[in-house]
Amino acid sequence: MSDPVSTPPAAERAPPATLVIFGAMGDLAKRLLMPSILNLMRDGLVGDDVGIVGVSHHDADDAALRDSLGQFVGKGDDAETAGAAWQALAGRIHYVRGSFEDAATYATLADRIEGNAAFYLATAPGFFGTIVDRLADAGILDESAGFRRVLIEKPFGHDLASAQALNARILARIPESQIYRVDHFLGKETVQNIMVARFGNALLEAVWNSRYIDHVQITAAETVGVGTRGTFYDATGALRDMVPNHLFQLLAMIGMEPPNSFDAEAIRNEKAKLLAAVRGPRPERVERDAVRGRYRAGQAGDATVPAYREERDIAADSRTETYAAIKLEVETWRWAGVPFYLRTGKALAARDTEIVVMFKPVPFALFRDTDVTRLPPNRLVLQVQPDEGISLDFVVKKPGPVVDTREASLDFRYADSLPLGHRTGYETLLYDALTGDQTLFQRADMIEAGWAAVQPVLDEWGKAGDPEDYDAGSAGPAAADELLARDGRQWHRIGA
């Protein structure tokens, strides 16, 4: 029998281009963007016709930028090959010093670019609108000499109104087709795999609805505290930082209808439809259906953390939450009546990003002496990180003359057969931006739908009250357990 799975064509090398990084002396550039470019070079997906221009206000020059960007090169298990790629790239890295607000910066930049260019805004979010305005004023976003694409990091706005305002400001200067709003969760292999698991397997899609699914849990737990990001985090909080963006992207992958093609717009249309159907708690339900927590001092995994309010750059009277849990409904034919419970937090028991799909119990107690309420329902766990994989729990008969049951599990772990390799997750995003594929980037309507769903919670939490304290290294505040217990359910154990 012939292999029914055809071999996909090898990905093509990205076209020649200049990658301009605003905020080039910052963390994102050296920790994630540079290693990603090197990985792409090593894979032959980016050639020696791609150069880098870093823009920043720091007093530096080409050599200083190269030093800064080279800091993390070859720190993984790939030291040798990364080193070789770095030698080839370093000579094509140039620095432009200047303020992001100053027209002169852009005049200098314009002289450094010809042909294709992608602009990566790895800056504080307050600069996003200004940089796009100045680039456009300087004529740099005109595409007559080559493509000109703008990549914008999160956070995109800090609530619905500010996200709408930022979208309006940017869209007044360039069309959606030139805008690549980054949500780095979409660069993760296992997140992209959700779509393949769903739409490549008849078995799953057949039961993927309210008739068979009881509820869905989406978790992004971290052991680390806020570390050095106190200023940013205290003004942001767990909900804004993770929920309307990263967790909603996972939700969209789980909930979307099958697109009618693999085109970027077809996929983004389906995700946008799903996100527009997400209903967060109404104001009067916020207290019941949304939970906020804040960590106490303690040991979380390998991390020893001080109490949140004792962390560097955190206000002593801060009311910012470091944990958020929320119950959502998705108002579509497929999902009516199926709750989605989302939670995320810092200083928790384990690093664990996962989606748990809980199926309904079987309808009838068939087995003598085995009460149906004792039959655990099927459970599908999509493990995004770490230990990436998929597992399905189901019931089997225990060997022996009497019919008795126990739980078993079908486990697929990437590490066993398809190692993911040393990847940052930004490789795909950079490659897609250079090749013009917007599938994995957020469109204006998706961003706004995400904020709209959580806005009542932001409003209520902004008015009064404090988060509930939880111990570092625990599973979060007690109220989060009560949220599910009220519905007769419980969370999947963090790190299980």
Q: How far is the CB of 14 from ligand BG6 (least distance, A)?
A: 23
- Residue 235 phi/psi, 5-degree rounding, is -90, 0
Q: How far is the CB of 303 from ligand BG6 (least distance, A)?
A: 12
Nearest position to ligand BG6, beta carbon:
241
Contact 87, 116 (CB under 8 A): no
Smallest Cα–Cα separation from 18: which of 147, 201, 194?
147
Cβ distance to ligand BG6 smaller for residue 66 or 188? 188
Contact 14, 50 (CB under 8 A): yes
Smallest Cα–Cα separation from 395: which of 414, 378, 373?
378
Q: How far is the CB of 238 from ligand BG6 (least distance, A)?
A: 8
Tokens of 400: 């022996």
Three-class SS state of 24: coil
> Of the listed 57, 158, 246, 492, which one is catalytic?
246
Out of 241, 329, 393, 460, the only residue in the binding site for ligand BG6 (CB under 6 A) is 241
Binding mask of the shown chain, residues 326 to 345, with x at each position contacting ligand BG6 by CB under 6 A: --------------------
Cβ distance to ligand BG6 smaller for residue 94 or 294? 294
User: For the chain, how big is the Rg over CA atoms in Å?
Assistant: 24
Cβ distance to ligand BG6 smaller for residue 14 or 220? 220
Cβ distance to ligand BG6 smaller for residue 154 or 309? 154
Contact 196, 469 (CB under 8 A): no
Question: Is residue 346 a known part of a binding site?
Answer: yes
Question: Is residue 273 a known part of a binding site?
Answer: no
Cβ distance to ligand BG6 smaller for residue 372 or 415? 415
Question: Is residue 327 a known part of a binding site?
Answer: no
> Within positions 348 to 367, which residues make up the interface with ligand BG6, using CB under 6 A?
353
Q: How far is the CB of 156 from ligand BG6 (least distance, A)?
A: 11
Place of tokens 């404090």: 466
Contact 478, 304 (CB under 8 A): no
Out of 151, 170, 222, 290, the only residue in the binding site for ligand BG6 (CB under 6 A) is 222
Q: How far is the CB of 221 from ligand BG6 (least distance, A)?
A: 10
Q: How far is the CB of 187 from ligand BG6 (least distance, A)?
A: 9
Q: How far is the CB of 321 from ligand BG6 (least distance, A)?
A: 13
Cβ distance to ligand BG6 smaller for residue 18 or 36? 36
Three-class SS state of 396: strand
CA angle at residue 296 from 294 to 302, to 5 degrees? 105
Cβ contacts of residue 467 below 8 Å, gap of 6+? 292, 293, 294, 319, 320, 321, 322, 323, 477
Question: Is residue 398 a known part of a binding site?
Answer: no
How far is the CA of 264 from the CAs of 22, 167, 233, 335, 426, in angstroms?
26, 19, 32, 24, 18
Question: Is residue 154 a known part of a binding site?
Answer: yes
Concerning whether 246 is annotated as a catalytic residue, the answer is yes
How far is the CA of 109 from the CAs of 127, 136, 430, 431, 473, in angstroms?
17, 12, 21, 23, 47
Cβ distance to ligand BG6 smaller for residue 18 or 318? 318
C-alpha to C-alpha distance for 248 and 446, rounded to whole angstroms: 9
As a 3-state breakdown, the chain gives helix, strand, coil percent values, each rounded to 5, of 40, 20, 40
Cβ distance to ligand BG6 smaller for residue 185 or 359? 185
How many chain residues are in contact with ligand BG6, going by CB under 6 A?
4
C-alpha to C-alpha distance for 380 and 378, rounded to whole angstroms: 7
Contact 99, 136 (CB under 8 A): no
Contact 162, 435 (CB under 8 A): no
Kindly state whether residue 270 participates in binding ligand BG6, applying the rule CB under 6 A. no
C-alpha to C-alpha distance for 150 and 44, rounded to whole angstroms: 23
Q: How far is the CB of 188 from ligand BG6 (least distance, A)?
A: 7
Positions at the binding site for NADP(+): 154
Positions at the binding site for substrate: 184, 188, 222, 241, 346
- Which residues contribute to the site for ligand BG6 (CB under 6 A)? 154, 222, 241, 353
Just list the catalytic residues: 246
Positions at the binding site: 154, 184, 188, 222, 241, 346
